[in-house]
Every structure is written in C-alpha cells, then in structure tokens.
Amino acid sequence: MTGININKNSVILAVLVVLLLLLPMAVTKPYYLHVIIICLLWAYLASSWNIIGGFAGQLSLGHGIYTAIGAYITVILFNTFGLSPWLGLFVGGGAAILLSLVIGYPTFGLRGAYYALATVAISEGIVVLLNNTGSIGRFTVGGAEGLIVKMVGNSAVAFQFNSKIPYYYIVLIMVFLIIFVAKWLKESKLGYYLVALREDEDAAAAMGINVRRNKLIAGAISAFFTALGGVFYAMLIRYLEPNAIAGAGMSTQMVFLAIVGGSGTVLGPVIGGILLALISEIIRFYLGGQLMGLHLFIYGMIVLLMIIYQPRGIIELFEKIGQRFSRKHNDEGGRSGAEDPSGA
C-alpha cells in the first residue's frame, strides 16, 4: 500500500516539476511572470523563517534584518568593487549567520513573548540605523533615499537579466532547495531536537538536548537562507529601501504566510506563501486603484478568516483531502488502515 502511495506521489511530483519548468512558455506577459516570481519568493522566505519560527517555535518578528543584511552587503560589494552577486551572496549569507548568532546568544535564553519582543526591538533599531547611514567610509549605503543597484545590462555574472525568465528559474530552484532543506531537517536529529525543545524546553534538556545550542544552529540556518532571499529581492527590484527590505512589513509578512500555510510543516509555508501572495496581488490588481488601502483591508480580512477557520494552516486542508482519497482506496482494497495518520 505504501509503495503505491510513494509511486503515486512521485508521479504527481514529476508532473508538477515539468509543468513548473514549462511555465514561462505559457506565461508570456512579463507582468504575470513577475507576479509568479514574487509569489515564489514569498514562499521561499516563509519557508526560511519556518526553520526557526515553525520547527523550533521561536517567534522571530525581526527576520527582515536578515533579508536586509544579505541584500545590502551583496549590493554594496557589487557597487563598490564590482564583486559578482553570486559571490557576494555568500558574504551576505555569512554575515547573516554571524548576526543571528550575536542576536541569538543573549535572546534565546528568553522564553515566549520576551523573545518575540526582543526581535522586534532589534529589527526596528536596524531599520533606523539603515535610514540614517548615508555611507560607511567609501561604501555607499544610501540612507533613507535607498540604494540603487549599479546597472550593467544583461549579464549573468552580475545577476542582471533583461528578461524575467532567468529570475523565474532562479527563484524556482531556491524554492526547491528550501523544500529539500526542510524535508531533510524534518527527518534529521536536529529537526527532532527542534520540535522537542519547541514543545517543552525542560523535557528536552532532560533528554540530553542542549537547548540554546540547537536554537542557535536553527537560527543560523534560517538567517542564511533568509539572506539569500534578500539578495534575490535586491537583484530583481534593483533598488533597496530600508523600510521595504528590513521593515516590519517584510518581517511580519514571512510570519503570516508561514502560519497561515502551516508552520512547522515542510510544505505549509510554501503553500501559504504562494496562495496569499497571489490573493494579495489579485486584489491589488482589481481594487488597488479604487479606494486607498481597500485592497490591504480585504487582504487582512482574508488572513483573519483563514486564521480563525483553519488555525493549523492551509496544509491541514490538503492533508485531509489526501487522507480522504487514500481512505477511499483502502476501503476499496478491503483494508481500513485508519490507524496510520502519518501517510500524508
């Protein structure tokens, strides 16, 4: 029975991958492709947040600082030295890891709301810093006016493309990468430790888990991948504005999408990211011009309804549907098999 399920799943997966690879042939308008790219980017960012926020249950409300540090460092190195963003992203990602450790060491001792508040305070501080730093030595940071990525025309080395299609494939690979990381994490010792310490820190410690160390590792992994998302954002938009890249909007959006999709699961944040970003874009497209802020209001209502009626995330809906399907199959095969909820 399990064998059939795996085969069925891999067939569905293969079809999905092929469809996604062929998508740019069907979607020829750059605007539509851009919307899809943004949706995938949000799916990626929500999944990156999910490693520390979902699996380890540490409610970070300041992940915007990691998108910002990745983006700013990569762009500054590119603008100043012409260093390829493909190399710059490792510097940016590395800096995000360091920052996560510096922030995590004192704050991971805090529990519950105190940790969340600390992350808000730190990220707000960094937004103020970015807004007020015009330059550091010869490095232009841009302050409140923002930082423009130096244009060099169509160049793969410089991560600049005239067409949207390369961006689409890059972000698609990023989403696959983060799903792979989450899937690995879920099966690994680290993943078990994170969920255990999320459920009960004292019990986790009594079972040999170094709580702070494991939080730091999860925080570093999460920060690194979040920073890569920031780099992609910078190269796609080609303009960094402190409030947009580091602000509360960026930070809370990741949290919303992950929770609405289903935090602590492998695919929940991906589904939440794509679905909500799409809904938000559709509402903005149709209502954006009519009444100031109406589209944001409606978007907020939708998020609210989802949280009320589907508190464990959209992923749970998908799992229920999947279970109903497999149960039907089991009944036809004359087996109940209802004891095993782990099939999905």
Q: Is 206 in the site for other proteins (CB under 8 A)?
A: yes
Listed ranges 71-79, 171-179, 207-215, 326-334: which one lies at the site for other proteins (CB under 8 A)? 207-215
Asked if 144 is part of the footprint of other proteins (rule: CB under 8 A), the reply reads: no
Give the nearest distance from C-beta 285 to other proteins in angstroms. 38
Q: What is the DSSP string of 187-216?
A: HSHHHHHHHHHHH-HHHHHHTT--HHHHHH
The binding track of 241-270 with respect to other proteins, each residue x by CB under 8 A or -, is -----------------------x------
- Write the DSSP string, 325-337: HHHHHHHHTT---
Exactly one of 209, 240, 245, 246 binds other proteins (CB under 8 A); that residue is 209
- Write the CB contacts of 24 (distance below 8 Å, at least 6 apart in sequence): 33, 164, 165, 168, 169
Which one, 137 or 341, has the nearer CB to other proteins? 341
The token pair at 332 is 């036809």
Q: What are phi and psi of 340, to 5 degrees?
A: -105, 95
Report, in Å, the least distance between residue 50 CB and other proteins: 15
For the segment 61-90, give every residue that binds other proteins (CB under 8 A).
none
In the set 208, 291, 292, 309, which binds other proteins (CB under 8 A)? 208
Q: Output 183-189 pairs: Cβ under 8 A, ≥24 positions apart.
A: 183/266, 185/51, 185/55, 185/221, 186/55, 186/266
181 near 225, Cβ under 8 Å?
yes
Binding range to other proteins, per CB under 8 A, among 92-100, 109-117, 168-176, 336-344: 336-344
Please identify which residue in 12, 145, 162, 187 interacts with other proteins, judged by CB under 8 A: 187
Among 205, 248, 302, 317, which residue interacts with other proteins (rule: CB under 8 A)? 205
1 part of the interface to other proteins, by CB under 8 A: no
326-330: long-range pairs with CB below 8 Å, 24+: 326/5, 330/1
56 part of the interface to other proteins, by CB under 8 A: no
Rg (CA), the chain: 21
- Residue 194, CB half-sphere, CA atoms under 13 Å: how many? 26
Q: Which is nearer to other proteins, 211 or 278 (CB)?
A: 211
Give the footprint of other proteins on this chain (CB under 8 A): 187-189, 192-193, 195-196, 199-200, 202-211, 264, 339-342
